[in-house]
Amino acid sequence: MKTLLPTSTAGSLPKPSWLADPEKLWSPWKLGGQELAKGKQDALRITLQEQRQTGIDIVSDGEQTRQHFVTTFIENLEGVDFKKRKTVKIRDRYDASVPTVVGPVSRPISVFVEDAKFFRSQTDQPIKWALPGPMTMVDTLYDTYYNSRKELAWEFAKILNQEAKELEAVGIDIIQFDEPAFNVFIEDVNNWGIACLERAIQGLQCETAVHVCYGYGIQANTDWKKTLGPEWRQYEEVFPKLQQSKIDIISLECHGSRVPFEVLERIRGKKVMVGAIDVSTPTVETPEEVAATLREALKYVDAEKLYPCTNCGMAPLSRELARSKLSALRAGAEIVREELLTEAAC
Ligand SMILES: [Zn+2]
């Protein structure tokens, strides 16, 4: 990227209300068959337009063609039985009824490649495409076949690598893996989580990112955050290994959270997507608040490696709120960009 401080979003963005009911997760589609296929393409056009208007430099599909960032990918795989469900605790936090792994997992068809091809045809801007990370996928399933989280994650990593290579081939610039589970299963992350992530990016020429956050702004996450104490230092435990990994970009939650900025020291040298927009509050950040977060991050991240971003996906927000927050992100980034250019000119 030539632009200084290029803005982007963590991933999901709200869908139009004619496609799925807004402000909730797993919202069912309101259309079917061909109508749904066309509706999804229109939603991709709309999200692109909204990102353009709000000044987002690295655009994304806003996950308009998926019901959920993990489930939709898994629905397209073999070896997982969605009728056989079991209630498990996701991320050690909340109960959810999840499908069961009943046999070897495989990817008989491409999942998002046609959507990516269509989205690519709509814009010349750099595109970031998010996929679920192997560990987070494992965490949303009940497994009666592998009986090993590590083994199942490794198999998912191989499948994700196939998908990622096809996304790269249709012109996606950055492929991101969402790993909110990295903030929870710290020991596993260091023992095998990052190794699986590296398997997922094996052989890719495009840039790669990992998004590690404290989750969507939903009640279960807000309640969980209250139990984490005055300082959230989970990142500190997984950053040293991530810093050593082949992943190019690390996307994380900063703004309005209790993550101390100094943990960024542990990924010095990496490109960082700094979350400068809180997705759990209905208040729109002021450009100055965004700028303040970016300035703090600049103490640990070189300007040319800093990407202003949102803390997490915005699927549960209203479209109006998401648009306002993205505009604030752009305005805040613009303030700091000007400062950096003035400094450089002095
Ligand atoms: Zn997130």
Domain boundaries, the chain: 33-345
| pLDDT at residue 99 greater than cutoff 90 | yes
* Spacing, Cα 82 to ligand 1 middle (Å): 24
Instruction: For the beta carbon of residue 239, count every other beta carbon within 10 angstroms.
Output: 21
Tell me which residue of 184, 179, 187 sits closest to 93, measured CA to CA.
184
- Which of 77-91, 122-136, 215-229 has the highest mean predicted lDDT (pLDDT)? 122-136
Query: In this predicted structure, what is the pLDDT of residue 2?
Result: 75
pLDDT value at 26 more than 90: no
- The pLDDT, as a whole number, for residue 24 is 85
Mean pLDDT across 75-93? 93
For the stretch 28-73, pLDDT in tens is 999 999 999 999 999 999 999 999 999 999 999 999 999 999 999 9
* Cβ–Cβ < 8 Å for 57, 306: no
Mean pLDDT of 231-250: 96
Strand 94-106 relative to strand 127-132, pairing: unpaired
- Summarize the confidence of residues 296-308 as an average pLDDT: 98
Q: What are the C-alpha distances in Å from 161 to residues 76, 165, 185, 201?
A: 15, 6, 22, 6
Give residue-wise pLDDT tens across range 112-169: 999 999 999 999 999 999 999 999 999 999 999 999 999 999 999 999 999 999 999 9
Q: For residues 51-71, b (16+ Cβ closer than 10 Å) or e, as one string?
A: beebebbbbbbbbbbbbbbbb
Distance 286 CA to ligand 1 centre (A): 21
Rounded to whole angstroms, the Cα distance separating 57 from 119 reads: 15
In angstroms, what is the span from residue 33 Cα to ligand 1's centroid?
30
User: Average pLDDT for residues 307-311, to the nearest whole number?
Assistant: 98
Is pLDDT above 80 for 179? yes
Query: Among residues of the chain, what percentage have pLDDT more than 70?
Result: 100
Residue 309 has pLDDT above 90, yes or no: yes
217 or 17, higher pLDDT:
17
Distances (CA, A) of 106 to 109, 157, 339: 9, 11, 50
State residue 1's pLDDT score.
57
Q: Give 312 Cα–ligand 1 centroid separation in angstroms.
A: 4
Ligand 1 centroid vs 171 CA: distance in angstroms? 24
Contacts (Cβ under 8 Å, ≥6 apart) of 17: none
Residues with CB under 5 A from ligand 1 (ion): 213, 312
- Quick one: pLDDT band at residue 216, thresholds 50, 70, 90? confident
108-136 residues labelled b (16+ CB within 10 A) or e (exposed): eebbbbebbbbbbeeeeebbbbbbbbbbb
Q: Full-prediction pTM beyond 0.75? A: yes
Q: Is 23 left (phi over 0), alpha (psi -120 to 50) or beta?
A: left
Q: Does domain 33-345 have CATH number 3.90.850.10?
A: no
For residue 128, report the phi and psi dihedrals to the nearest 5 degrees: -110, 135
Q: How far apart are CA 79 and CA 168, in angstroms?
A: 25
142-143 and 127-132: which strand pairing? unpaired
User: Mean pLDDT for the chain?
Assistant: 96
- Ligand 1 centre and the CA of 222: distance in Å? 13
Q: How confident is the model at residue 269 (pLDDT cuts 50, 70, 90)?
A: very high
**What percent of the chain shows pLDDT beyond 90?**
88
| Bridge partner list, 207 | 174
In a 10 Å sphere around its CB, with 0-12 CB exposed, 13-18 middle and 19+ buried, how is residue 28 labelled? exposed
Give dist(CA 346, CA 343) in Å, integer.
5
Distance 35 CA to ligand 1 centre (A): 30
> Distance from the CA of 181 to the center of ligand 1, in angstroms?
10
* 251 vs 308: CA distance, rounded Å: 9
Report pLDDT for 61. Answer: 98
Q: Burial level of 229, CB count in 10 A (0-12/13-18/19+)? A: exposed
